[in-house]
Structure 1
Protein backbone atom coordinates (compact mmCIF):
# COMPACT_ATOMS: atom_id res chain seq x y z
CA UNK A 1 0.00 0.00 0.00
CA UNK A 2 2.95 2.38 0.36
CA UNK A 3 2.94 3.38 -3.31
CA UNK A 4 -0.81 3.90 -3.21
CA UNK A 5 -0.47 6.00 -0.05
CA UNK A 6 1.95 8.35 -1.71
CA UNK A 7 0.25 8.58 -5.09
CA UNK A 8 -3.22 9.50 -3.79
CA UNK A 9 -2.22 11.34 -0.64
CA UNK A 10 -3.85 8.81 1.67
CA UNK A 11 -3.69 9.88 5.31
CA UNK A 12 -6.11 7.55 7.05
CA UNK A 13 -8.53 4.65 6.67
CA UNK A 14 -11.58 4.22 8.93
CA UNK A 15 -13.65 1.02 8.95
CA UNK A 16 -17.03 0.73 10.66
CA UNK A 17 -19.04 -2.50 10.94
CA UNK A 18 -22.22 -3.44 12.78
CA UNK A 19 -24.89 -6.13 13.00
CA UNK A 20 -28.44 -5.95 14.39
CA UNK A 21 -29.03 -8.97 16.63
CA UNK A 22 -32.61 -8.20 17.66
CA UNK A 23 -35.33 -5.93 16.30
CA UNK A 24 -38.76 -5.51 17.90
CA UNK A 25 -37.75 -8.11 20.46
CA UNK A 26 -36.92 -10.87 17.96
CA UNK A 27 -33.79 -11.98 16.17
CA UNK A 28 -33.88 -11.47 12.39
CA UNK A 29 -34.11 -14.62 10.28
CA UNK A 30 -30.64 -13.80 8.97
CA UNK A 31 -28.72 -11.00 10.70
CA UNK A 32 -27.05 -8.70 8.17
CA UNK A 33 -23.67 -7.13 8.69
CA UNK A 34 -23.22 -3.57 7.42
CA UNK A 35 -19.89 -1.85 6.91
CA UNK A 36 -18.36 1.34 5.58
CA UNK A 37 -14.75 2.07 4.74
CA UNK A 38 -13.58 5.68 4.51
CA UNK A 39 -10.33 6.90 2.95
CA UNK A 40 -9.03 10.35 3.85
CA UNK A 41 -7.01 11.77 0.96
CA UNK A 42 -5.63 15.16 0.04
CA UNK A 43 -7.79 17.16 -2.34
CA UNK A 44 -5.96 17.01 -5.70
CA UNK A 45 -7.80 20.11 -6.98
CA UNK A 46 -7.23 22.40 -4.01
CA UNK A 47 -6.75 25.99 -5.08
CA UNK A 48 -7.90 25.40 -8.64
CA UNK A 49 -10.70 27.43 -10.19
CA UNK A 50 -14.14 26.35 -11.42
CA UNK A 51 -12.87 26.03 -15.01
CA UNK A 52 -10.30 23.38 -14.06
CA UNK A 53 -10.58 20.06 -15.91
CA UNK A 54 -11.04 17.34 -13.27
CA UNK A 55 -10.66 14.29 -15.50
CA UNK A 56 -6.91 13.68 -15.24
CA UNK A 57 -6.95 13.42 -11.46
CA UNK A 58 -10.16 11.40 -11.56
CA UNK A 59 -8.45 8.80 -13.72
CA UNK A 60 -5.42 8.74 -11.43
CA UNK A 61 -6.98 8.77 -7.95
CA UNK A 62 -10.44 7.20 -8.24
CA UNK A 63 -9.39 3.70 -9.41
CA UNK A 64 -6.92 3.38 -6.56
CA UNK A 65 -9.64 4.35 -4.08
CA UNK A 66 -12.14 1.92 -5.61
CA UNK A 67 -9.71 -0.98 -5.16
CA UNK A 68 -8.55 0.10 -1.71
CA UNK A 69 -12.07 0.47 -0.28
CA UNK A 70 -13.70 -2.57 -1.88
CA UNK A 71 -10.83 -4.84 -0.85
CA UNK A 72 -11.49 -3.94 2.77
CA UNK A 73 -15.27 -4.27 2.45
CA UNK A 74 -14.87 -7.73 0.98
CA UNK A 75 -12.45 -8.73 3.71
CA UNK A 76 -14.53 -7.46 6.64
CA UNK A 77 -17.86 -8.80 5.35
CA UNK A 78 -16.71 -12.34 4.63
CA UNK A 79 -16.15 -12.28 0.89
CA UNK A 80 -17.70 -10.72 -2.19
CA UNK A 81 -20.39 -13.42 -2.43
CA UNK A 82 -21.70 -12.37 1.00
CA UNK A 83 -22.25 -8.75 -0.06
CA UNK A 84 -25.79 -8.01 -1.26
CA UNK A 85 -26.11 -4.21 -1.22
CA UNK A 86 -23.79 -1.25 -1.70
CA UNK A 87 -23.45 2.53 -1.62
CA UNK A 88 -20.87 5.29 -1.97
CA UNK A 89 -20.22 8.77 -0.57
CA UNK A 90 -17.74 11.62 -0.33
CA UNK A 91 -17.16 14.60 1.96
CA UNK A 92 -14.98 17.47 0.77
CA UNK A 93 -13.25 19.75 3.25
CA UNK A 94 -14.19 23.40 3.61
CA UNK A 95 -11.43 24.68 1.29
CA UNK A 96 -12.72 22.59 -1.61
CA UNK A 97 -15.67 22.67 -3.97
CA UNK A 98 -18.63 20.31 -3.59
CA UNK A 99 -17.76 19.31 -7.17
CA UNK A 100 -14.47 17.91 -5.87
CA UNK A 101 -16.37 15.42 -3.71
CA UNK A 102 -18.52 14.38 -6.64
CA UNK A 103 -15.51 14.14 -8.93
CA UNK A 104 -14.09 11.17 -7.03
CA UNK A 105 -17.30 9.11 -6.78
CA UNK A 106 -19.52 10.21 -9.71
CA UNK A 107 -17.12 8.86 -12.30
CA UNK A 108 -16.72 5.51 -14.04
CA UNK A 109 -13.18 5.41 -12.67
CA UNK A 110 -14.75 4.83 -9.25
CA UNK A 111 -18.35 3.68 -9.68
CA UNK A 112 -17.77 1.19 -12.48
CA UNK A 113 -14.84 -0.36 -10.63
CA UNK A 114 -16.67 -0.55 -7.29
CA UNK A 115 -19.54 -2.26 -9.11
CA UNK A 116 -17.14 -4.69 -10.80
CA UNK A 117 -15.13 -5.49 -7.67
CA UNK A 118 -18.32 -6.13 -5.66
CA UNK A 119 -19.93 -8.06 -8.56
CA UNK A 120 -22.89 -5.72 -8.82
CA UNK A 121 -25.06 -4.48 -11.67
CA UNK A 122 -27.21 -1.74 -10.13
CA UNK A 123 -26.51 1.98 -10.13
CA UNK A 124 -24.81 2.74 -6.82
CA UNK A 125 -26.71 4.91 -4.32
CA UNK A 126 -24.72 7.91 -3.13
CA UNK A 127 -24.37 10.90 -0.84
CA UNK A 128 -21.95 13.82 -0.96
CA UNK A 129 -21.45 17.04 0.96
CA UNK A 130 -18.93 19.65 2.12
CA UNK A 131 -18.24 19.68 5.85
CA UNK A 132 -15.77 20.29 8.61
CA UNK A 133 -13.84 17.46 10.21
CA UNK A 134 -15.87 15.00 12.24
CA UNK A 135 -19.24 15.45 10.56
CA UNK A 136 -21.12 12.23 9.89
CA UNK A 137 -22.78 11.35 6.61
CA UNK A 138 -25.70 8.97 6.04
CA UNK A 139 -25.05 6.65 3.09
CA UNK A 140 -27.97 4.94 1.35
CA UNK A 141 -27.64 1.32 0.26
CA UNK A 142 -29.67 -0.86 -2.09
CA UNK A 143 -29.34 -4.30 -3.67
CA UNK A 144 -26.29 -4.61 -5.87
CA UNK A 145 -28.08 -6.55 -8.63
CA UNK A 146 -31.81 -5.95 -8.02
CA UNK A 147 -32.30 -2.25 -7.31
CA UNK A 148 -36.08 -2.64 -7.00
CA UNK A 149 -35.76 -4.96 -4.00
CA UNK A 150 -37.13 -2.86 -1.12
CA UNK A 151 -35.88 -5.21 1.60
CA UNK A 152 -32.36 -3.95 0.99
CA UNK A 153 -33.18 -0.22 1.13
CA UNK A 154 -31.20 0.84 4.19
CA UNK A 155 -28.57 3.32 5.36
CA UNK A 156 -25.33 3.36 7.26
CA UNK A 157 -23.64 6.28 8.99
CA UNK A 158 -19.95 7.04 8.43
CA UNK A 159 -17.73 9.48 10.28
CA UNK A 160 -14.02 10.30 10.49
CA UNK A 161 -13.25 12.10 13.74
CA UNK A 162 -10.47 14.29 12.31
CA UNK A 163 -11.43 14.45 8.66
CA UNK A 164 -11.82 15.84 6.21
CA UNK A 165 -9.46 18.64 7.05
CA UNK A 166 -9.99 21.74 4.93
CA UNK A 167 -7.64 20.46 2.22
CA UNK A 168 -8.90 16.85 2.18
CA UNK A 169 -11.65 14.64 0.79
CA UNK A 170 -13.15 11.63 2.54
CA UNK A 171 -14.25 8.94 0.09
CA UNK A 172 -16.46 6.12 1.36
CA UNK A 173 -17.69 2.77 0.07
CA UNK A 174 -20.34 0.89 2.05
CA UNK A 175 -22.07 -2.48 1.85
CA UNK A 176 -24.37 -4.91 3.62
CA UNK A 177 -24.64 -8.70 3.63
CA UNK A 178 -28.43 -8.69 3.65
CA UNK A 179 -31.71 -6.85 4.12
CA UNK A 180 -33.15 -4.83 6.98
CA UNK A 181 -34.36 -6.86 9.98
CA UNK A 182 -37.81 -8.42 9.36
CA UNK A 183 -38.42 -6.88 5.89
CA UNK A 184 -42.09 -7.06 4.88
CA UNK A 185 -43.12 -4.03 2.81
CA UNK A 186 -43.16 -5.73 -0.55
CA UNK A 187 -41.25 -5.09 -3.72
CA UNK A 188 -41.49 -2.43 -6.40
CA UNK A 189 -41.90 -5.08 -9.09
CA UNK A 190 -44.99 -6.59 -7.43
CA UNK A 191 -46.64 -3.39 -6.17
CA UNK A 192 -50.24 -2.67 -7.16
CA UNK A 193 -50.82 0.22 -9.52
CA UNK A 194 -51.51 3.24 -7.31
CA UNK A 195 -52.59 6.57 -8.80
CA UNK A 196 -55.08 9.24 -7.81
CA UNK A 197 -57.54 7.49 -10.12
CA UNK A 198 -57.19 4.05 -8.49
CA UNK A 199 -57.60 5.32 -4.95
CA UNK A 200 -61.11 5.50 -3.51
CA UNK A 201 -60.04 8.30 -1.17
CA UNK A 202 -57.40 10.84 -2.08
CA UNK A 203 -56.01 12.97 0.78
CA UNK A 204 -56.81 16.64 0.31
Structure 2
Protein backbone atom coordinates (compact mmCIF):
# COMPACT_ATOMS: atom_id res chain seq x y z
CA UNK A 1 0.00 0.00 0.00
CA UNK A 2 1.25 3.48 -0.86
CA UNK A 3 0.51 6.57 1.17
CA UNK A 4 0.59 9.70 -0.92
CA UNK A 5 -0.70 13.22 -0.90
CA UNK A 6 -2.21 14.41 -4.18
CA UNK A 7 -3.03 18.06 -4.74
CA UNK A 8 -5.00 19.23 -7.78
CA UNK A 9 -5.33 22.95 -8.39
CA UNK A 10 -7.31 24.74 -11.08
CA UNK A 11 -5.97 28.12 -12.09
CA UNK A 12 -6.96 31.04 -14.18
CA UNK A 13 -9.67 31.43 -16.76
CA UNK A 14 -7.81 32.52 -19.90
CA UNK A 15 -4.48 33.82 -21.11
CA UNK A 16 -3.12 34.18 -24.62
CA UNK A 17 -0.02 32.72 -26.27
CA UNK A 18 0.60 33.89 -29.83
CA UNK A 19 -2.36 34.36 -32.16
CA UNK A 20 -3.38 30.73 -32.59
CA UNK A 21 -3.52 29.71 -29.00
CA UNK A 22 -6.10 30.40 -26.30
CA UNK A 23 -5.49 28.55 -23.05
CA UNK A 24 -8.73 28.13 -21.12
CA UNK A 25 -7.50 26.49 -17.93
CA UNK A 26 -4.34 25.40 -16.18
CA UNK A 27 -4.35 22.45 -13.79
CA UNK A 28 -1.62 21.58 -11.30
CA UNK A 29 -1.30 17.94 -10.24
CA UNK A 30 1.06 17.24 -7.34
CA UNK A 31 1.77 13.78 -5.92
CA UNK A 32 3.99 13.20 -2.92
CA UNK A 33 4.53 9.63 -1.72
CA UNK A 34 5.39 9.28 1.97
CA UNK A 35 4.93 5.53 2.48
CA UNK A 36 5.33 2.67 0.01
CA UNK A 37 4.98 -1.03 0.84
CA UNK A 38 4.68 -0.15 4.55
CA UNK A 39 8.13 1.46 4.41
CA UNK A 40 8.80 5.16 4.84
CA UNK A 41 9.94 7.02 1.72
CA UNK A 42 12.84 9.35 2.47
CA UNK A 43 13.17 11.74 0.83
CA UNK A 44 9.55 11.77 -0.28
CA UNK A 45 8.94 10.89 -3.94
CA UNK A 46 7.43 13.95 -5.58
CA UNK A 47 5.96 14.39 -9.06
CA UNK A 48 4.42 17.54 -10.52
CA UNK A 49 2.33 17.63 -13.69
CA UNK A 50 1.01 20.90 -15.10
CA UNK A 51 -1.76 20.77 -17.71
CA UNK A 52 -3.02 23.42 -20.09
CA UNK A 53 -6.44 23.19 -21.73
CA UNK A 54 -6.23 25.00 -25.07
CA UNK A 55 -8.21 25.51 -28.24
CA UNK A 56 -7.08 23.39 -31.19
CA UNK A 57 -7.00 25.83 -34.14
CA UNK A 58 -7.16 22.97 -36.65
CA UNK A 59 -10.00 20.98 -35.10
CA UNK A 60 -12.60 19.84 -37.64
CA UNK A 61 -10.43 20.74 -40.63
CA UNK A 62 -9.52 17.23 -41.73
CA UNK A 63 -6.04 15.91 -42.33
CA UNK A 64 -3.43 18.47 -41.26
CA UNK A 65 -0.62 19.40 -43.61
CA UNK A 66 3.00 20.07 -42.75
CA UNK A 67 2.39 23.77 -42.15
CA UNK A 68 -0.43 23.09 -39.67
CA UNK A 69 1.59 20.45 -37.83
CA UNK A 70 4.56 22.81 -37.59
CA UNK A 71 2.33 25.51 -36.11
CA UNK A 72 1.03 23.06 -33.49
CA UNK A 73 4.60 22.14 -32.56
CA UNK A 74 5.40 25.84 -32.16
CA UNK A 75 2.30 26.29 -30.00
CA UNK A 76 3.38 23.46 -27.73
CA UNK A 77 6.78 25.06 -27.23
CA UNK A 78 5.14 28.36 -26.24
CA UNK A 79 2.72 26.71 -23.83
CA UNK A 80 5.39 24.31 -22.59
CA UNK A 81 7.66 27.15 -21.50
CA UNK A 82 5.01 28.49 -19.14
CA UNK A 83 4.04 25.04 -17.87
CA UNK A 84 7.69 24.20 -17.22
CA UNK A 85 8.15 27.38 -15.19
CA UNK A 86 5.17 26.52 -13.02
CA UNK A 87 6.22 22.91 -12.55
CA UNK A 88 9.82 23.66 -11.60
CA UNK A 89 8.72 26.42 -9.21
CA UNK A 90 7.11 23.71 -7.07
CA UNK A 91 10.56 22.14 -6.60
CA UNK A 92 12.00 25.38 -5.22
CA UNK A 93 14.38 24.61 -2.36
CA UNK A 94 14.47 20.91 -3.27
CA UNK A 95 16.90 18.88 -5.35
CA UNK A 96 16.78 19.25 -9.13
CA UNK A 97 14.14 16.91 -10.59
CA UNK A 98 15.67 13.73 -11.99
CA UNK A 99 12.75 12.68 -14.22
CA UNK A 100 10.50 14.22 -16.83
CA UNK A 101 7.59 13.35 -19.11
CA UNK A 102 5.01 14.88 -21.42
CA UNK A 103 1.61 13.98 -22.87
CA UNK A 104 -1.38 15.36 -24.75
CA UNK A 105 -5.03 14.46 -25.17
CA UNK A 106 -6.62 15.75 -28.38
CA UNK A 107 -10.39 16.29 -28.56
CA UNK A 108 -12.56 14.37 -31.02
CA UNK A 109 -12.50 17.02 -33.79
CA UNK A 110 -8.72 16.80 -33.91
CA UNK A 111 -6.55 13.95 -35.12
CA UNK A 112 -3.89 11.80 -33.52
CA UNK A 113 -1.23 13.51 -35.64
CA UNK A 114 -2.12 16.80 -33.96
CA UNK A 115 -1.06 15.12 -30.73
CA UNK A 116 2.20 13.91 -32.26
CA UNK A 117 3.00 17.50 -33.26
CA UNK A 118 2.14 18.83 -29.82
CA UNK A 119 4.59 16.49 -28.08
CA UNK A 120 7.26 17.07 -30.73
CA UNK A 121 10.85 17.67 -29.70
CA UNK A 122 10.09 21.41 -29.78
CA UNK A 123 8.15 20.94 -26.54
CA UNK A 124 11.25 19.34 -25.03
CA UNK A 125 13.38 22.44 -25.70
CA UNK A 126 11.77 24.68 -23.04
CA UNK A 127 11.59 21.72 -20.64
CA UNK A 128 15.33 21.16 -20.93
CA UNK A 129 16.08 24.89 -20.85
CA UNK A 130 14.11 25.35 -17.64
CA UNK A 131 15.78 22.34 -16.07
CA UNK A 132 19.24 23.42 -17.17
CA UNK A 133 19.98 20.18 -19.00
CA UNK A 134 18.46 16.88 -19.96
CA UNK A 135 20.32 14.56 -22.33
CA UNK A 136 17.75 11.77 -22.50
CA UNK A 137 14.67 11.46 -24.66
CA UNK A 138 11.54 12.75 -22.90
CA UNK A 139 8.85 10.04 -22.77
CA UNK A 140 5.72 11.23 -24.57
CA UNK A 141 2.15 9.97 -24.88
CA UNK A 142 -0.41 11.27 -27.39
CA UNK A 143 -4.03 10.12 -27.55
CA UNK A 144 -7.47 11.30 -28.56
CA UNK A 145 -10.42 11.40 -26.19
CA UNK A 146 -13.28 13.35 -24.69
CA UNK A 147 -13.72 15.36 -21.52
CA UNK A 148 -12.42 13.52 -18.46
CA UNK A 149 -10.20 11.13 -20.44
CA UNK A 150 -7.19 10.08 -18.38
CA UNK A 151 -3.62 9.66 -19.55
CA UNK A 152 -0.59 8.08 -17.90
CA UNK A 153 2.39 10.41 -17.77
CA UNK A 154 5.45 8.22 -18.24
CA UNK A 155 8.57 9.54 -16.51
CA UNK A 156 12.13 8.79 -17.54
CA UNK A 157 15.50 9.95 -16.27
CA UNK A 158 16.57 13.36 -17.52
CA UNK A 159 20.10 12.27 -18.47
CA UNK A 160 20.21 8.47 -18.73
CA UNK A 161 17.37 6.53 -20.34
CA UNK A 162 18.68 3.35 -18.66
CA UNK A 163 18.54 4.72 -15.13
CA UNK A 164 15.68 2.70 -13.71
CA UNK A 165 15.25 4.72 -10.50
CA UNK A 166 13.59 7.55 -12.41
CA UNK A 167 11.11 5.39 -14.34
CA UNK A 168 7.62 6.00 -12.99
CA UNK A 169 4.14 7.06 -14.04
CA UNK A 170 1.26 9.21 -12.87
CA UNK A 171 -2.35 9.10 -14.08
CA UNK A 172 -4.01 12.48 -14.62
CA UNK A 173 -7.29 13.75 -16.06
CA UNK A 174 -9.14 17.06 -16.43
CA UNK A 175 -12.87 16.62 -15.67
CA UNK A 176 -14.25 18.97 -18.35
CA UNK A 177 -11.57 18.74 -21.02
CA UNK A 178 -10.71 18.33 -23.74
CA UNK A 179 -13.82 19.57 -25.51
CA UNK A 180 -14.09 18.39 -29.11
CA UNK A 181 -12.17 21.43 -30.39
CA UNK A 182 -9.54 21.49 -27.65
CA UNK A 183 -6.45 19.67 -26.48
CA UNK A 184 -4.90 19.19 -23.04
CA UNK A 185 -1.11 19.42 -22.91
CA UNK A 186 0.77 17.97 -19.92
CA UNK A 187 4.33 18.66 -18.76
CA UNK A 188 5.73 16.71 -15.81
CA UNK A 189 8.84 16.58 -13.63
CA UNK A 190 9.67 14.31 -10.73
CA UNK A 191 12.14 12.71 -8.37
CA UNK A 192 13.28 9.13 -8.14
CA UNK A 193 10.57 6.46 -7.79
CA UNK A 194 9.49 5.76 -4.20
CA UNK A 195 12.03 3.42 -2.55
CA UNK A 196 13.44 2.47 -5.96
CA UNK A 197 15.60 -0.67 -5.81
CA UNK A 198 15.28 -2.39 -9.21
CA UNK A 199 18.44 -2.11 -11.29
CA UNK A 200 19.42 -3.01 -14.81
CA UNK A 201 19.77 -6.79 -15.15
CA UNK A 202 23.22 -8.16 -16.02
Fold conserved between structures, TM > 0.5: yes
Structure exhibiting the larger radius of gyration computed from Cα positions: 1
- 1:4-56 Cα offsets, whole Å, 9 max, x none, are 28651100000000111111212123212111111011012123232522244
| Residue in structure 1 matching 2:159, options 145, 168, 177 | 145
Hey, what does 2:129 align to over in structure 1? 116
User: 1:2 deviation in Å?
Assistant: 4.1
Larger strand fraction of residues = 2
| Cα distance in 1, alignment partners of residues 136 and 57 from structure 2 | 29
The 5 A counterparts of 1:44-123 are: 44-50=57-63, 52-53=65-66, 54-58=68-72, 60-78=74-92, 82-106=96-120, 108-118=121-131, 119-123=133-137
Runs of 4+ displaced beyond 6 Å? none
Shift, 1:97, TM fit: 0.5
TM-score using structure 1 length: 0.84
Aligned equivalent of 1:20, options 33, 54, 75: 33
Provide the rounded CA distance (Å) in 2 between the counterparts of 1:101 and 1:18.
25
- Are 2:58 and 2:64, in contact at CA under 8 Å, matched by a contact in 1? no
How many residues of Structure 1 are paired with residues of Structure 2 in the alignment?
Answer: 187
Q: What secondary structure is seen at the aligned counterpart in 2 of 1:65?
A: helix
- Residues 51 and 98 of structure 1: CA distance in aligned 2, closer, same or farther (over 3 Å): closer
Q: Which secondary structure state, in structure 2, belongs to the residue aligned with residue 22 of structure 1?
A: strand
Q: Cα RMSD (Å) of the superposition?
A: 2.0
Check conservation: 1:97, 1:130, Cα contact below 8 A: yes
Is the 8 Å Cα contact of residues 73 and 175 (structure 1) preserved in structure 2? Answer: yes
Gaps of 5+ in 2: 1-13
TM-score by length of 2: 0.85
Contact 1:35 1:156 in 2 (8 A): no
- Partners of 2:20 and 2:72 in 1: how far apart? 13
Aligned partner of 2:198 among 173, 179, 185: 185
| CA distance in structure 2 between the aligned counterparts of 1:158 and 1:72, rounded to whole angstroms | 17
